[in-house]
Amino acid sequence: MEKTKSVSKNKAVLLAGIITENPTFVSLLGMCPTLATTKSVEAAIGMGLLVILTLIGSNTIISLLRKVIPSQVKIPCYILIIATFVTILKMLTEAFIPDLYSSLGVFISLIVVNCIILGRAEAFASKNGPVASFFDGLGAGIGFTLAICVIALIREVVGTGALSFGVYFPIGAQYIFHIIPEAYAIPIFVQSAGGFLTLAFVLAFLAWRKNRKEAQKLAAERARIEELKAKKAKELAEKKALEAKQAEEAKAAATPIVEAKSEAAAEVKAEAKETPAEPVKEEVKEAAPEVKEEKTENKEVA
């Protein structure tokens, strides 16, 4: 169970660096190499690989030493560790890929002060274990590489009309893929201004896509709320109709009883009216002399 949680956590960390926390398109970090090394896809791939290796190495070492490094000097220590990896990679690039080294030039050395690397060291590696820090560095590095490759792809295709490989990497031959006619190419995209234009277009597209998703989500939420309101109103109407029906049924059930009582009262009144009162009075008058005679006899006896 713990192993599964650890794997899912490392996967989430990896994907966050690539998508949701992309250092270039989301955090807008590392703009200097993004604009300067994206004239060709091959150069962008080279810069991306160097950044990935630096991020993985520095993140892992800083995570292992996070409890040893004093908090007062942690930033200088981070820079020292990053500079060590950059120096090693610079020497290896110069020895084995000299054309790439010449193309990137000073930007290889500037990896030391790249905000992406120092930011991940401070924000993540100094607070988490080496395995998680490894995946964080890998995710951030892949995210940066994908971002600069997208920008380089647009700049190279629009600026030259073709894609070329084998110029910087020693792959045995040079390959050129023509995508659009050279007459329709826009050379400004392979110049310095082209980097700003391409980055602006890409960021504008991503912002439009994000806003569209949020608008769709908001519309769906509003539709759900309206549906719930309509359902609630329908239930309330049905409840009121049921209560009205029950009241009518109760009223209908009580009506015969009231009518029966009214009829009984009417019958009693009718009988009372029909009964003659005079015979009773006459019987009383006839009985009165007899009572008097009985009283008289009683007196005589006494």
Q: Which uninterrupted H or E stretch holds 81?
A: helix 74-96
pLDDT at 290: 55
pLDDT of 280 strictly over 50? no
The string of pLDDT tens digits covering residues 7-27 is 888 899 999 999 988 999 998
pLDDT at 126: 92
pLDDT tier at 285, thresholds 50, 70, 90? low
Residues ≥6 apart with Cβ < 8 Å to 282: none
The string of pLDDT tens digits covering residues 196-221 is 999 999 999 999 999 999 999 999 99
What Cα–Cα distance (Å) separates residue 35 from each residue in 110, 187, 223? 13, 16, 43
* C-beta neighbour count of 265 within 10 angstroms: 10
pLDDT at 258: 57
Q: Which uninterrupted H or E stretch holds 163?
A: strand 162-165
pTM value surpassing 0.85: no
The string of pLDDT tens digits covering residues 107-157 is 999 999 888 999 999 999 999 999 999 999 999 999 999 999 999 999 999
pLDDT at 291: 46
pLDDT at 288: 52
